Amino acid sequence: MAEADNANVLRRLDAQYIGLLDYAQAWELQKAYVKQIDQGEREQSLLLLQHPPTYTMGSDKHPEHLLLDEAELKERGIALFQIDRGGDITYHGPGQLVGYPLLYLEAEGLDLHAYLRSLEQVIINWLAEYGIEAGRKPEYTGVWVGDQKIAAIGVKFNKARQRRGFITSHGFALNIKSGIAAEGFSGIVPCGIQQFGVTSFNDLTGLELSVEEAANQLLPHFVKEFKCELDLVKK
């Protein structure tokens, strides 16, 4: 997605793979980046990382979709956060690539749904490299392979204070590791969807791709879809 006033302008993008980061730290980092981008102190950014086992519940707020009580959460070592993105409950954990794009979107001609579709397209295009035919379900946000969800998407559009438009936060969670569905998603009704399942890249392909390898492969697709000029940030 290019700036609204010139479809050929490339947006600068700082991108980095962080590795494993506590959810609370990542959330505070996003808030700081949003403020800095708004004030012109930081380039637009893409944070790629993993979280320790965590459930996050978005603004749709369906507590009944959490199937574990407090004692069971503690026993399994899973943290729980009520957060400010859209959507219902989902799982984050090791073996899942989480991406937080922090992008400025011009107010003029802004289509928030188009932003979501672009995030989905990045993942769809990457999966196609492996011959995986992924797509969308019209009634649900995210990326699907048949009736199994491989990537969840939930975002927040933060109103810019210094100019007209919004700065995005939160983003996508792409399942990579085999067995992640049973490992973390079994304790919830993922995104409130009961009739369909969850899968991962390694389950589909039989490969042993690491999350960092997936991040490196996905990044060029993000750059192309969002028409970015990339600056890689070292760890």
Residues recognised as catalytic: 191
Helices and strands (H, E) in the chain, number of each type: 6, 13
Q: Give DSSP secondary structure letters for 82-126.
A: E-SSSSSEEEE-TTEEEEEEE-EEESTT--HHHHHHHHHHHHHHH
CA distance 60 to 138: 18
Range 16-49 burial, b when 16+ CB lie within 10 A, else e: bbbeebebeebbebbeebbeebbeeeebbbbbbb
One-letter amino acid for residue 205 of the chain: T
